[in-house]
Amino acid sequence: MCNEKYLLEQLIAGDEAAFKQLYFLYSERLYGNLLKLLKSESIAQEILQDVFMKIWDHRQHIDTEKSFRSYLFRIAENMVCNFYKKASREKALLQQLVSKSSEEYAHVEETLFSKEQKSFLHNAIESLPPQRKQVFELCKVEGKSYDEVSGLLGISISTISDHIVKANRFLREYCIKNKELIIPALLVTLWSC
């Protein structure tokens, strides 16, 4: 406990080594808990990375007198709840879009994946930094697992997860900035990546 308190004090001061030690101490247990709740390795890895990114970003607000483990698991629990709420809203929106589209168009697939939308998505992906683009295409476009991509590129699974998280954020922002160029269905598609 004393060692943890010291690590937290160092973390608050901005010590990356202390952050890495705390990650090492808690990431495996937290990942196991996330996996039980989410039933998806890739989503559990993304949320794990988000939890620790949040810890780093808000390190000045950590109370060293309170249980860090409880704080960490509470953040993770909130993120899982937010994930499911968002997924529920997106599913409802997608069902609404599909319902409206089926009334207006005979072929929903042709509408959703028109030439313009493919071009838009291609341009968005092309805007990613080279390695992030490669990781994103292998995982999200080709459907390869993090383990497969790790073996192919010789980088760690946590690095792959970090690339995917950052790529998803970039693509969402790209869609928001260029929303007049796409229909809402493409935005929903990207949010579910």
Task: Note whether 56 and 124 are same-domain residues.
Answer: no
Q: Is residue 87 part of a domain?
A: no
Task: Note whether 78 and 115 are same-domain residues.
Answer: no
Q: Confidence band (pLDDT; 50, 70, 90) for 123?
A: confident
pLDDT reported for residue 27: 94
pTM of this structure: 0.50
Q: Which of 159, 169, 161 is nearest to 40 (CA)?
A: 161
Q: Is residue 159 part of a domain?
A: yes
Q: Is residue 91 part of a domain?
A: no
CB 138 within 8 A of CB 125: no
Q: Which domain holds residue 41?
A: 2-82
CATH of the domain at 60: 1.10.1740.10
Rounded Cα distance between 150 and 29, Å, is 22
Q: Is the pLDDT of residue 101 over 70?
A: no
CATH of the domain at 159: 1.10.10.10
User: Average pLDDT of the chain?
Assistant: 81
Q: How many domains does the chain have?
A: 2
Task: Note whether 187 and 118 are same-domain residues.
Answer: yes
Task: Note whether 115 and 187 are same-domain residues.
Answer: yes
**Mean pLDDT along residues 90-107:** 62
Q: Is residue 150 part of a domain?
A: yes
Q: Is residue 171 part of a domain?
A: yes
Model confidence pLDDT, tens digit, residues 154-188: 999 888 888 888 888 887 887 777 765 554 444 44
Helix and strand tally (H, E) in the chain? 10, 0
